[in-house]
Amino acid sequence: METIPYPLRIPEEIVTIARLRAKEEYTDQSTAIRQLLYIGTEEYVLHLIESGRISIGRAAELLKTSIQDLHRLAEKHGVHLGPTPEQLRQSHETMRKLLKKAR
């Protein structure tokens, strides 16, 4: 993933937490802050998919990850991605038509 410099003021407490994470993960503080930012972004993107604002394919492109990884992430966070009740109803109609065709 490409990075760009971005001016940002960060609460001191978050820097303290990032320092702790940096120690635990054997990394530097800037990397730890980026990791925390990424974790928050992943969770937010899941909610964008869940509410139908972006597709799972677009989310995978934005996060530079695979759809399988997004499925795993959704499972981890207990987020169930899927259609609206109306979409389910329409899917059922299609299934019935295809079933007739198959028989």
Instruction: Summarize as ranges the residues that interact with other proteins (CB under 8 A).
Output: 49-61, 66-69, 71, 74-75, 80-88, 90-92, 94-95, 97-99, 101-103
The answer to whether residues 48 and 59 touch, using CB atoms and an 8 Å cutoff, is: yes
Closer to other proteins by Cβ: residue 28 or 52? 52
Closer to other proteins by Cβ: residue 40 or 82? 82
Closer to other proteins by Cβ: residue 25 or 75? 75
- Tally Cβ neighbours within 10 Å of residue 45: 21
Q: CB of 4: closest distance to other proteins in angstroms?
A: 21
- 3-class state of residue 23 by DSSP: helix
Of 98, 72, 93, 68, give the one whose Cα is nearest residue 83: 93
